[in-house]
Chains A and B, each alone.
Chain A
Amino acid sequence: MMNNFNIINKNQLSPDVWRYTLSAPDIARKRRAGHFIILRPLADSERIPLTIVSSDQDQGTIDIIFQVVGATTRDLAGLRAGEPVKDLIGPLGHPTEIAKHGTVAMVGGGVGIAPLLPIAQAFRAAGNRLVTILGARARSLLILEQELASISDKVLLTTDDGSAGQKGLVTAALEPLLVAREIDFVMAVGPVPMMKAVADLTRGFGVKTMVSLNPLMLDGTGMCGVCRCQVAGKTRFACVEGPEFDAHQVDFDSLRRRLTMFREEEKARREAKPSGGSHAA
């Protein structure tokens, strides 16, 4: 269990989005769809949660896909292939509850498309029909379209600027399918406003909807409580009780507010440390 979490492969998927293959044989053996890890790129970085997108037991590797949004993801992007990330724990969280529902709408927004991929694969493997709806600000930010298309019966794209697919939000593509009673189950992963909009929409149709929440996290083992979310009026720790919850029970406004907790410190940090230079031990 004393791994060196080396970066085996480093690929750029879009201007700010990277896919890494990391050496983590014990985690690769254990991980299931829906699991995540917490890593710390450098000894002086924060610990951040990232979803395990895929794994290869034979090679002893796991893949992550992340978007550079702040200091820690920038530290991570600054590492080179062959270098290790300092610390990495997992697999964390409950794996996705996979069942055969019939037709499942897989809704992903932005970098939320990354966590969606393993879940989609698992639902597919369980015999579901998949309708995949991917949303992003612009075509250049859409990731994993090919991988998802290869396991989906239908793929619908939406972009804010209309550069790919339908112009507008994912809900615009989802609504007609709900109206047509084509969808038995919805899985949505993406920015909080997107997940909230999907939840509000599907509630009216009574279609069961799960979301994968992305609160701030620290230890990932249930020790700190920063990841607490309000679900059905109760406090739930997303790192050990989630991260997937029934969308119709989630207080998204609380989650959205809590994500802004350290906005000023994050901004200061981004500005203070201009290049996520590679200085790993």
Chain B
Amino acid sequence: MPLDLNRVHMPEQDPAQRRRNFSEVNLGLDAEAARREAARCLYCKRPTCVDGCPVHINIPHFLAALRDGDPDASARRIRQDNSLPAICGRVCPQETQCELACVLNKKGAPIAIGALERFVGDHALRQNLAAERPAAERTEKIAIVGSGPSGLTCAGELRKLGYQVTVFEALHALGGVLTYGIPEFRLSKAKVVQPEIETLRDLGVVFATNAVVGRLATIEELLNAQGFAAVYIATGAGYPQFMGVPGEDLNYVYSANEFLTRINLMEAYRWNAAATPVRVGRRVGVVGGGNTALDAARSALRLPGVEEVHLIYRRSEQEMPARTEEVKHAREEGIIFRLLTAPVAFTGNERGDLAAARCVEMALAEPDASGRRRPVPKPGSEYLLELDSAVIAIGTQANPIIAQTTPGLALTSKGYLQVDEQGRTAMPRVYAGGDIVSGSATVILAMGAGRTAAHAMHFDLTGQKL
């Protein structure tokens, strides 16, 4: 049979239309398109795509059921490896993972694994396919701290094993970055994130919002006073970093977390209906080149009154850590890319409102420790970029609350939690994973860590290997 190199095209909203709304950009495949794409797979004996996936999802296994026109079976298969396929299908950097490793990538047409994963995940949610129920109930209570993808995955795995699971979340809403960070136009809260959480609730996971562990109850108290057999810490790396340049305290200079939280969590995108404001003016500058920066830039573009959004990144497009698809979408929507550019100061007016960013152009020198070419300022290249607001999206650090209130934990020099390969911390019965261990990474890695730790907990509590 000849190779079919017609990779399926993900239907999307037209750029001119979508840049003014917060609805999902990607519209999803229909059943026939999904079946055809799955039929394109070679079902390799040694599927290299699986090696490319950080959690080694058995990709041909779920594709085969799709090819055979049985999406229910496909959903059951993928859920054995990945409890949140509708989410990963949308946000995983497939082009550097499974799709990069697909043999058909050499021919320029890798299987659209992400789009198919999304299709199967959406199918499961639409059909309300019941999640696997615990075979038998266990009496042990387990506490999960943080309701991001890592905590949710760990909760789901443990609940399937029959444990009594409570997820504690500091905010009033569940989902971590999936809810407060990644915008609606990339990941629908109502269609995807909320239903995934409801699935866990149906399974019997208990959620306690408004619970800042460490301040309210400490880890030690959860274990000893409240009778939890074990704790999984998945508090993320949500402590925004600033650049340390003059003028960063001016009004309308936001951290990406603040900006996105106002828009997503506090629903400022509903504009007039929302109590929590966000003010951006006409010209917005976003500093950074990762997913967070692109999400901030594209969110800004969608706010009323915004005319120009400048993405200010100190390296070139090649070095941008964001997903390729987001960069493409951002360009189509009209984000202005100011590459090889860095702000060295912000200047304001007499009221303390931002007026401009003083930018300098950069050149790339030899690679640095991260393997990327190091940007160095070009002498005499400074210029002023007039801005009404700016968003700093240059990364995050470890949140200090758990570390400050849990003396038994071992920390890295940057304040992240130290764990062994299975997610065990220095404290007995305490496990950790996701961004609070790795530093800011990806949804799928955070989920993988949650699953690994759940299995380690089960082993430590029962002696049974999974």
Contacts and interface: CB of A to CB of B under 8 A. Distances in A.
Answer yes or no: are A and B bound together in one complex: yes
Interface string B203-243: 00000111110011100000000000000000000111010
Contacts of B209: 87
Given A1-B168, A230-B249, A223 B212 contact: no
Interface stretch (B6-14, B65-73, B252-260, B292-300): B252-260
A141 to B, nearest CB: 26
Contact of B400 (A89, A90, A222, A230): A222
Nearest to A228: B249
B217 A1 contact: yes
Nearest to B166: A1
A256 to B, nearest CB: 8
A225 B240 contact: yes
Interface in B346-372: 351-352
Contacts of B208: 1-2
A1 B216 contact: yes
B277 A223 contact: no
A87 B251 contact: no
B427 interface: no
B352 A90 contact: no
Interface stretch (A59-67, A175-183, A257-265): A257-265
B261 A218 contact: yes
Contact of A223 (B172, B216, B261): B261
Contacts of A1: 168, 208, 211, 216-217
Contacts of B216: 1, 26-27, 30, 89-91
A77 to B, nearest CB: 15
Contacts of A46: 266, 275-276
A88 interface: yes
B62 to A, nearest CB: 35
B170 interface: yes
Contact of A225 (B171, B258, B400): B258
Contact of A235 (B170, B215, B244): B244
A269 to B, nearest CB: 7
A145 interface: no
A85 B149 CA distance: 28
A229 B211 CA distance: 25
Given A1-B208, A26-B217, A258 B262 contact: no
A240 interface: yes
Contacts of B251: 257-258, 260-261
A264 B279 CA distance: 10
B399 interface: yes
Nearest to B252: A261
Contacts of A235: 242, 244, 248-249
Helix, strand, loop or mixed for chain A's interface?
A: mixed
Interface residues of A, number: 47
A251 B248 CA distance: 13
B275 A44 contact: yes
A258 B249 contact: yes
Quick one: which of A44, A89, A91, A237 has the most chain B CB within 10 A?
A: A89
Contacts of B212: 89-90, 92, 220-221
Contacts of B273: 44
B257 A30 contact: no
B279 A223 contact: no
A218 B266 contact: yes
B279 A218 contact: no
Contacts of B254: 225-226
B384 interface: no
Quick one: which of B254, B275, B277 has the most chain A CB within 10 A?
A: B275
A45 interface: yes
A172 interface: no
Interface string B393-408: 0000001110000000
Interface in A220-244: 220-226, 228-230, 235, 237, 240
B170 A219 contact: yes
B400 A262 contact: no
A33 interface: no
Contact of A89 (B210, B238, B244): B210
Contacts of A218: 258, 261-262, 266, 276
16 contacts: A30-B215, A47-B276, A86-B172, A87-B209, A89-B172, A89-B210, A90-B212, A218-B262, A218-B276, A222-B401, A225-B258, A235-B242, A258-B352, A260-B251, A265-B277, A265-B279
- Which 4 pairs show the lowest CB-CB distances between chains A and B? A257-B352, A265-B277, A224-B258, A225-B255
